[in-house]
Structure 1
Amino acid sequence: MENKLRSVNFKQFEDKFGNLIKEYEIIKYCKHSNGKWVEDMRFNSSRNYYIIDNNLYHRINDSLFLCNMDFNSCICGACYQIGKIIENNKKIIENKILFTEVCKLDNQLLMLSLYKQSYSDNTSFYSLRDKYNNSKLEYGSNNIEDLITQIEKEILLKEQYIKEQNETLTEHFKKIYNWKINIFNRLQDIKIKY
């Protein structure tokens, strides 16, 4: 049995929306100096521990390391057991892109898309993501009004900059400003729909 599995495809543990297919309670025991095993803690496996062929592995980056599950092992001070299956009642049920707004600059393409993630408990999460699928912390919320407020702040900052620059304002900056206005307007439209 191999102690380390490299370059694991973690998608095999997820459904099409990225929800974990199975999640377990993990029980960790520590061996005291008198040789007795004592329960140390219980926690959910989440995306840190995976079960493959009835063996428990701990995830570190993109590799899995075999956890000791043998209480008779004389070289380990920790031992793990797999507990009950954890039922997750809040699952992602839909991922949708509501709009994409593009700004073409000289040799650059700026793009923000509004993503809506819907959950089984009838809640949603909205995020503005760039062309690489990255999102700033302030570009994500369960309330679309928060995104509108953030974009509005950015527009106001750009308006202030425009006033200070007057004639020296570049065409490049004007395009970004108009792009943010378009995003703001589209967010307002989405707010009305949802």
Structure 2
Amino acid sequence: MPGDFHAVDDPFPVIEAWLEEARATEINDPNAMALATVDEHGMPDVRIVLMNGFDRRGLVFYTNVGSAKGAQLDQQPKAAAVFHWKSLRRQIRVRGPVERVTDAEADAYYATRPRLSRIGAWASRQSQPLASRAALEEAVATREAEFAGGEPPRPDWWTGFRIIPISIEFWLDQPFRLHDRAVFRRETPADAWVRTRLYP
């Protein structure tokens, strides 16, 4: 059974099975994950992002590279992420190094976004001070006029990051807080996974 993390030596099918179930049951953003990075002072920083790509290479999300998380990942390319599906009583934790996706991958995903979201990528100076909501709306209107004759291309400062897992932990809620947990670890992405059952 792909969703049984104690019965497999590879965590990726379990992630896919749990994501598929979340897509069928979660009302909003089943692909939402808390993303933790480290800033220039060594302080952790966390926020919710959407995972918009998943395969055996890792988990992908997209952002403005000038944002806080983009700058932090460029300085220290490592991250941790958590999926928590409360209604399913499940959680997945992921840790690992981070790399940028290729331009081709970023272009392909950018092209699937709604037009106004693509305009927004041009208009927003993500994480920078904003004088007012009106200033943002003006920037959007300016970019809409600029691209009125065609499709907005992907900005150079907007791309994806891939977390390459070296640790994946599954958590399943059980009565009386006697939860079911297991962690898969590997030293490098080229190594085989080692599964360990954990106390709750």
Structure ID, larger Rg: 1
Greater strand proportion: 1
* TM-score of the pair, normalised by structure 2: 0.22
The TM-score normalised by the length of structure 1 is 0.23
